[in-house]
Amino acid sequence: MKQLAVGMQASTQRAFDHALIAEYAALCDDHVSDRVPEPLIGGLFSYLLGVELPGAGSVYLKQEFTFATAARIGELLTATVTITHIRIDKPLVTLRTRCTGDHERLIADGEALVMVPQV
């Protein structure tokens, strides 16, 4: 596990195309719209927390976020997680989770709590 510090961040970018949205809708027995389903946006944060920061071995305990606006199919999304607090007494890390679209348009903003193997 890498050494963690407040202020560290990781980002990923993804554009969801019509084919992927149709596949997702079929799996979930949902309708297809011109918007990216919110669970797919949440999945970007899951990826970052489990693979990038804090990374492998982390346990995703809690996530709260608010969607400011819908993401459009084909829009390039940037998901970012930033460490805001590290508990010294327990292996817990709090991170801000933020997703933006084209022209830095806010899509979602929130906070995650992650248990890490070591702090």
β-strands 59-67, 92-100 pairing:
unpaired
Is there a contact between 68 and 108 (Cβ–Cβ < 8 Å)? yes
Instruction: Tell me the per-residue pLDDT of 33-90, one tens digit each, with 9 for 90 and over.
Output: 778 989 999 999 999 999 999 999 999 999 999 999 999 999 999 999 999 999 989 9
Assess if residue 1 is contained within a domain: no
Looking at residue 21, which CATH number applies to its domain? 3.10.129.10
Structural domain that includes position 19: 8-115
pLDDT at 31: 64
Is there a contact between 9 and 82 (Cβ–Cβ < 8 Å)? yes
Is there a contact between 63 and 74 (Cβ–Cβ < 8 Å)? no
Assess if residue 19 is contained within a domain: yes
pLDDT confidence band for 117 (50 / 70 / 90): confident
Assess if residue 108 is contained within a domain: yes
